[in-house]
């Protein structure tokens, strides 16, 4: 029998897992074990710190509901979501609009609205603005009938899903016209703090971080034959544009509000123009998915194998 020591335990675990039939699962889990064990050795992890970490992850899991995905928030604040998103971007066959994070507050149940509609149920005086732009391919060809899903916080800095599981607000799905143009009415986005009442917020506080996201509006854009685009626009004058707590902002996604834009299709309102370029779809796009999900969909999803294929969860051992 092999003697297990801090120096030999890693190889013992890898040897035992070598029989994993799914090649991708075998590759991912082997790397995870190597890095996890190396981390424990590097910091000389103590039993008290080990149990503290387990308690933290348990609390994160307990905070997850159909309306809140604390694990995605954790991934976001650790920069893991941005890293995975960047790795996914590197698989594109051509460069379109810079991507950003889907975030933990995306909802699949978003109403389809006609062009020019207001997505906010309540609009405070002076807060309304127009949002428009053109969806094209990377060469500037307009893409008609592209779907443009948009969501943002309200004036209080909260998403609808944070306030009510049943009310849909500050969201809408629009379709581009023959010239690839989308247009709607909304309210000026505001910067906001991520939820600080849970374990992730506690971690951020303990690290002395501000927990703020710059003012932004989310986009999920798609058209047949093109790579799905997950991105966001950010207001250039927001003080946290350069130190977004989830590392999602970028200079080339920053825009200004124009008080007198002569090109806006919605007259009489301050406007934001945000054009979007879609890359052609590649083979990798059909299998890789997106970095993020509707919180409700995650809780309903069946277990997945290492290659991404859905499987029924195995029964617990008795």
User: How much is the average pLDDT of 213-220?
Assistant: 97
Q: Are residues 95 and 233 in the same domain?
A: yes
Strand partners, 277: 136
Structural domain includes residue 305: no
Q: Are residues 169 and 267 in the same domain?
A: yes
Query: If pLDDT is split at 50, 70 and 90, which confidence band does 301 have?
Result: low
Q: Are residues 184 and 235 in the same domain?
A: yes
Structural domain includes residue 203: yes
Q: Are residues 184 and 118 in the same domain?
A: yes
| Domain hosting residue 38, numbered range | 9-45
Q: 162 pLDDT exceeds 50?
A: yes
Q: Are residues 128 and 224 in the same domain?
A: yes
> Is the model more confident about 291 or about 200?
200
Domain of residue 276, CATH code? 2.60.130.10
In contact, 98 and 230? CB cutoff 8 Å: no
Q: Are residues 23 and 137 in the same domain?
A: no
Q: 177 pLDDT exceeds 70?
A: yes
Q: Is the model's pTM score more than 0.85?
A: yes
Q: Are residues 108 and 232 in the same domain?
A: yes
Q: Which of 185, 129, 189, 186 has the alpha carbon at shortest distance from 157? A: 189
Total domains in the fold of the chain: 2
Structural domain includes residue 64: no
Query: If pLDDT is split at 50, 70 and 90, which confidence band does 252 have?
Result: very high
Structural domain includes residue 258: yes
Most confident option among 96-110, 163-177, 210-224:
210-224
Structural domain includes residue 2: no
User: What's the rounded Cα separation, in Å, for the pair 76 and 82?
Assistant: 7
β strands within 122-259, DSSP E: 128-137, 147-151, 171-175, 181-187, 192-193, 212-213, 216-222, 229-235, 254-255
Q: Are residues 101 and 41 in the same domain?
A: no
Q: Are residues 252 and 133 in the same domain?
A: yes
Q: Are residues 31 and 75 in the same domain?
A: no
Q: Are residues 13 and 141 in the same domain?
A: no
Structural domain includes residue 50: no
45-83 pLDDT, tens per residue? 999 999 999 999 999 999 999 889 999 999 999 999 999
Question: Position of tokens 């997945």?
Answer: 304
Q: Are residues 241 and 194 in the same domain?
A: yes
Strand partners, 231: 219
């Amino acid at each position: 029998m092999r003697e297990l020591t801090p120096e030999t335990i890693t190889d013992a675990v890898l040897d035992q897992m070598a029989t994993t039939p799914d090649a991708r699962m075998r590759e991912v889990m082997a790397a995870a074990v190597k890095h996890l064990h190396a981390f424990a050795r590097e910091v000389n992890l103590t039993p008290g710190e080990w149990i503290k970490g387990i308690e933290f992850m348990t609390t994160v899991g307990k905070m997850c509901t159909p309306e809140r995905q604390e694990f995605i928030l954790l991934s976001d604040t650790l920069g893991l979501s941005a890293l995975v998103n960047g790795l996914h971007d590197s698989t594109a066959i051509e460069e379109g609009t810079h991507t950003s994070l889907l975030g933990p507050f995306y909802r699949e149940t978003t109403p389809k609205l006609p062009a020019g509609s207001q997505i906010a149920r309540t609009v405070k005086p002076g807060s309304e603005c127009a949002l428009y732009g053109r969806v094209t391919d990377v060469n500037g060809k307009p893409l008609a009938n592209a779907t443009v899903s948009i969501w943002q916080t309200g004036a209080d800095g909260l998403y609808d899903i944070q306030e009510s599981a049943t009310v849909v607000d500050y969201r809408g799905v629009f379709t581009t016209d023959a010239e690839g143009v989308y247009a709607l009415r909304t309210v000026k986005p505001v910067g906001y703090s991520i939820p600080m009442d849970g374990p992730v917020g506690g971690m951020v506080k303990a690290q002395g971080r501000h927990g703020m996201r710059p003012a932004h509006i989310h986009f999920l854009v798609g058209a047949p034959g093109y790579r799905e685009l997950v991105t966001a626009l950010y207001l250039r004058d927001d003080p946290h544009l350069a130190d977004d707590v989830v590392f999602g902002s970028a200079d080339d996604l920053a825009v200004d509000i124009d008080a007198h834009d002569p090109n806006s299709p919605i007259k009489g309102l301050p406007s934001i123009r945000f054009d979007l370029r879609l890359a052609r779809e590649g083979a990798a796009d059909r299998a890789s998915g997106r970095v993020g999900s509707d919180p409700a969909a995650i809780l309903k999803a069946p277990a997945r194998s290492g290659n991404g294929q859905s499987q029924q969860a195995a029964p617990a051992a008795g």
